[in-house]
Amino acid sequence: MRVIITKDYDAMSRRAAGFVRELIERKPDAVIGFATGSTPIGLYRELIRMHREEGLDFSKIVTFNLDEYIGLPKDHPESYHTFMWENLFKHINVNPSNVHIPDGTVPDVEAYCEWYEERIKKFGGIDLQILGIGRDGHIGFNEPGSSLGSRTRIKTLAKETLEDNARFFGGDINKVPKQAITMGVGTIMEAKVLLLLASGKKKAEAVKKTVEGPITAMVPASIMQLHPKAILILDQEAASLLEREYEYDSTV
Ligand code: PGA
């Protein structure tokens, strides 16, 4: 695992954008896994800037998002479709037919999840998967207890996640969808590179367990310890509970 500790949220976002840019410049038709949530917004802003000011070309990339709420139509203001289009896709020259975001309204979720997995394979697998982390150590919506070999499937959200996401639903936990389609832990682990971003004190405990704790399904992100190319980009607050001393950019 490579642990990169940056000064603050902006530095974390810029550092992450550098990895995405390097990939696209090297492989213009790269397959990139995107994440939603507050954490990657700064990264997406920086990618938009790189597109506008430096001509970074997204026209050939293929995208796969990690997850989507069950039951929210694509045009719902809090759907992850809306999130991705508003925060990134509509501002860059991505080809809409190359964008994949799970559809939380399909009648046959199981068949759809199989199709999603096949689709990832058809494009040769994910080159770089961007990840956030939940306070409970989730990646995607793989909550504690998720099988570390799991594939794309439907998951019920943990209480911490419902509480954390209530802020997007007028603060009302009852309005947060209770289930989501999510890539599995096994699906995520097949990406060639994992890039996990974490910012702020409230992520410090989950980060510590991910980097220094045992590998356990109770902290799904801890499986990243087994990935040959897992990169964590943290700000100082998110890194604050790590016990070992890490250099600014240390490989462990
Ligand atoms: P956040 O969510 O970026 O909004 O903190 C991260 C996650 O739940 O994976």
pLDDT of residue 28: 98
> Helices 41-54 & 9-26, crossing angle to 10 degrees?
50
Q: Is the CB of 37 under 6 A from ligand 1?
A: yes
Instruction: Tell whether ligand 1 has an atom less than 6 A from the beta carbon of residue 134.
Output: yes
Domain count, the chain: 1
We report the CATH number of the domain holding residue 156 as 3.40.50.1360
Q: What is the pTM of this model?
A: 0.96
242 falls within a domain: no
Q: Quick one: pLDDT at residue 205?
A: 98
Query: Which residues are part of the catalytic machinery?
Result: 67, 136, 138, 143
CA angle 113, 116, 119 (to 5 degrees): 155
User: Considering the domain boundaries, does residue 237 fall inside one?
Assistant: no
Q: What ligand 1 atom has the least distance to the C-alpha of 197?
A: 3
The reply to whether 189 falls in a domain is yes
Which tens digit of pLDDT belongs to each residue from 190-231?
Answer: 999 999 999 999 999 999 999 999 999 999 999 999 999 999
Q: Does 241 fall in a domain?
A: no
Q: Is residue 48 domain-resident?
A: yes
Q: What pLDDT shows up at residue 244?
A: 83
| Total length of the chain | 252
Would 34 be classed as within a structural domain?
yes
Query: Which residues, given as ranges, of the chain have pLDDT below 50?
Result: 250-252
pLDDT of 248: 53
Cα separation, 155 vs 163, whole angstroms: 16
State which residues form the domain around 37. Answer: 2-230
Tell me, yes or no, whether 246 lies in a domain. no
